[in-house]
Amino acid sequence: MQLDTRKQEKSSSDGNLAQIQEMCVIFLRECPSGALHLHEFKRMFGVQSSSREESLFLETIFRSFDTNQDNTLDFIEYVAALNLILRGNLEDRLKWSFKMYDRDGNGKLDRKEVKLLIRVLHKIKLQKSEVGLTPSEICDRIFERVDDNNDGEITLSEFMEGAQKDDWLMDLLNLDINTSGWVIRNCRKLC
């Protein structure tokens, strides 16, 4: 039984590595300069400028992976992003999600930051689900469950602990919109 589990994990890992390699080939073909700009990133993933929510979400993803904040993704940043999306563990994905919510980069989330991303997610994902809550109600519920000291801000540690309290929070805070499936699907369109 344990041997079967190891074989499945290795097979999954090998599959993820193959997907990363495939996407790296796409990167090199699409960006021979080695720098991927936001407009190219959007084009690679098929986001039309008319899709405001998807465009904003993709800008947020792009910004979160632009670690040196030079408004481009170099090859190393791109590979790190793919590795996180396709192979990252829960803790790394939650840290990445926190970074995406934390638009001003101060290490704390306020209601405005959370509400902005919840509005985008509501348009892309939540509207199709059975949530039945408005973005403001979702934001309030997150703060009720995660802001332990009730100071109106969520720290990384509160975020990490809160996300693991229940499945509903995990789904929202982990930004689980099947990012890996979306990346794979859209990159394959380019082949």
Per-residue pLDDT of the chain (191 residues; tens, 9 = 90+): 444 444 444 444 555 677 777 777 877 887 888 898 988 888 776 666 666 777 777 888 888 889 898 999 998 898 888 788 777 788 888 888 888 888 888 999 999 988 888 887 777 665 555 567 888 888 898 899 899 999 999 999 999 998 888 787 777 766 544 454 545 555 555 44
pTM: 0.68
Topology alike, domains 2-88+179-190 and 90-173? yes
What span, in angstroms and rounded, lies between the C-alpha atoms of 161 and 10? 29
Instruction: Tell me which residue has tokens 């793919």.
Output: 82
If residue 143 lies in a helix (H) or strand (E), which one and from where to where?
A: helix 135-146
Q: Does domain 90-173 have CATH number 2.40.50.140?
A: no
What span, in angstroms and rounded, lies between the C-alpha atoms of 101 and 95? 10
Q: Which fold has domain 2-88+179-190?
A: Recoverin; domain 1 (1.10.238)
> Where exactly are the structural domains of the chain?
2-88+179-190, 90-173
